[in-house]
């Protein structure tokens, strides 16, 4: 491997925007010969998400669904010749992504961006914005053109 981005960590919560970010990270890794570390994150439910009907699923069921989704993405990436590993963790997405990026000595963090209401944005932090302010690793925020609000 040669180049500035040798290890790419990509965070996913299973949402369409996150899956799009994973696809972008895999495509980038395929082109530049980088390793991908796919981190599935099961965030703790917030009062805001529960009020909107999200976060009501059993965290273990969410983890199983996310693990299955990531396994499919890993198999697809391996068929394309991309070196990739995946793991699922529970906790604050921003902190987990930062910790894993530091531990793995990643050169790039890739995350998806979702459009949410102004109120929800105010009530819940944006992981991509928080990482932009705090992460010591380069950050690529992927917008999914198919999911506009």
Domain range spanning residue 21?
10-143
DSSP of 40-100: EEEPPPPHHHHHTT-S-S-HHHHHHHHHHHHHHHHHHHHHTT--EEEEEEES-HHHHHHHH
Tell the residue number behind the tokens 């082109």, with chain if given: 31
Chain length of the chain: 149
Is residue 69 included in any domain, yes or no?
yes
- Classify 20 as helix, strand or coil: helix
Using a pLDDT cut of 70, give the percent of the chain over it.
79
Average pLDDT in the chain: 83
Is residue 93 included in any domain, yes or no?
yes
**Alpha-carbon Rg for the chain in angstroms:** 15
pLDDT at 54 over 90: no
Is residue 5 included in any domain, yes or no?
no
Is residue 103 included in any domain, yes or no?
yes
Q: Domain with 78 in it: what CATH number?
A: 3.40.50.620
Is residue 135 included in any domain, yes or no?
yes
Give the chain's domain count: 1
Is residue 106 included in any domain, yes or no?
yes
């Amino acid at each position: 491997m040669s180049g500035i981005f040798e290890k790419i960590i990509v965070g996913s919560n299973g949402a369409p925007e996150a899956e799009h970010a994973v696809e972008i990270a895999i495509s980038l890794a395929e082109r530049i010969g980088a390793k991908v570390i796919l981190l599935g994150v099961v965030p703790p439910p917030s009062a805001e998400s529960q009020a909107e009907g999200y976060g009501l699923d059993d965290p273990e069921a969410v983890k199983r669904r996310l693990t299955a989704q990531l396994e499919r993405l890993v198999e697809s990436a391996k068929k394309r010749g991309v070196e990739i590993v995946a793991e699922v963790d529970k906790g604050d997405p921003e902190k987990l992504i930062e910790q894993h990026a530091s531990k793995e000595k990643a050169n790039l963090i890739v995350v998806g961006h979702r459009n949410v209401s102004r109120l929800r944005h105010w009530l819940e932090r944006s992981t991509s914005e928080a990482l932009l302010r705090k992460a010591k690793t380069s950050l690529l925020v992927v917008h999914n053109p198919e999911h506009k609000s």
